[in-house]
Amino acid sequence: MIPDKKQHMPGNSVKKNSQPETETSAMYLADGNKRFKALEKKFHSEQKFRDLFRNMGTGLSVNRIIRQEKGKATGAVMQDVNPAFEEVTEKKAEELIGRPLSNTIPFCNNTTEETLIRTIEKNRNFEMEVQCSRGEKHYRLMAFPIGDDQFVLSVHDITDEKKEYLARHHLASIVDTSEDAIYSISLDGKILSWNRGAQNFYGYTAEEILEMDVSLLTPEMDHQDHINLIGDVLSGNILNNVELVQRSKNGAVFPVYLTKSPIFDRYGNVIAVSN
């Protein structure tokens, strides 16, 4: 009997389309190494985020939107907070995590939370200035979506900024309504501000005079004296009741007593001159 060619003799069996065991092991090893590197990269990325989150000077919280069975949002709970968030809310992390945003932190009531959630659901960034329900604190709230119904909320105390703004606004109102002529000039001699008193005194409206050179108000023969006085003010000196000759819009020339003082920025640099 002639052996069937499709049969194989004992001891000579060979599996078709098989790979050597060493090659298969190498493939599993390479795949495992690839997965490990991906996990390692993700870990380091998450660790960097955690470090940044914990060390930010701005109060931050990670939050999740809570939904009913039908999918309607009913609120949001805090999942994590950084130390700056604890400081601005005057609460410990254990008092915040797992708690709803509204009615837990003083600057986020139900209305604010509803507006925030509607904005996040549209995948848009949220920003709002709010006043604390107790006291005179003001905050700027900002939030942005990070996916899976989660969002990051940042809280910045802007109470001092608000006070500074109101003080400037009050001062500006006083200056604007004063009967005295008050105006300011830049370091290169351009007129920056012009109140109603100056308009009545010199005859120029603010629209006409702003950004014009201050030499417009000084007769040519007194230009150098005026430049020298500005130089003294730029050194930080206040000049009281300096007698100068000025010129009005209709060309009339008359003597005046000017008080010149420097205007400083928040760093103590002279940025303009008040007259």
Range of the domain at 101: 56-159
Q: Are 184 and 259 contained in the same domain?
A: yes
- Where do runs of H (alpha helix) occur along 56-195? 83-89, 93-96, 110-121, 159-177
In a domain, 263, yes or no: yes
pLDDT at 34: 66
- Report the CATH number at residue 202: 3.30.450.20
Asked whether residue 9 is assigned to any structural domain, the reply reads: no
Identity (one letter) of the amino acid at 228?
N
Considering its fold, how many domains does the chain have in total? 2
Say whether both 211 and 258 belong to one domain.
yes
Q: What pLDDT score was predicted for residue 83?
A: 94
Do both 257 and 191 map to the same domain?
yes
Q: Could you say which of 132, 159, 186 is where a domain stops?
A: 159
What pLDDT does residue 9 have? Answer: 43
Residue 268 and residue 219 share a domain: yes
pLDDT at 228: 78
142 plus 226 within the same structural domain? no
15, part of any domain: no
Q: 216 lies in a domain?
A: yes
d(CA 204, CA 213): 13
Residues 137 and 192 occupy one common structural domain: no
Residue 111 pLDDT: 85
pLDDT beneath 70, residues of the chain: 1-44, 103, 133-135, 221-222
Q: Are residues 151 and 211 in the same domain?
A: no
- Cα–Cα distance, 127 to 130 (Å, whole number): 10
Residues 188, 136, single domain; the answer is: no
92-127 pLDDT per residue, tens: 999 999 998 886 777 777 888 899 999 999 999 999
Q: Are 155 and 184 members of one domain?
A: no
In a domain, 261, yes or no: yes
Residue 94: inside a domain, yes or no?
Answer: yes
Of 126, 159, 192, which residue constitutes the final position of a domain? 159
Q: Which of 131, 159, 187 is the last residue of a domain?
A: 159
Q: Decide if 110 is inside a domain.
A: yes
CA distance 27 to 226: 85
In a domain, 255, yes or no: yes
CB under 8 Å, gap of 24 or more: what pairs does 116-122 form?
A: 116/76, 116/141, 116/143, 116/151, 116/153, 117/65, 117/73, 117/75, 117/76, 119/143, 120/65, 120/144, 120/145, 120/151, 121/65, 121/73
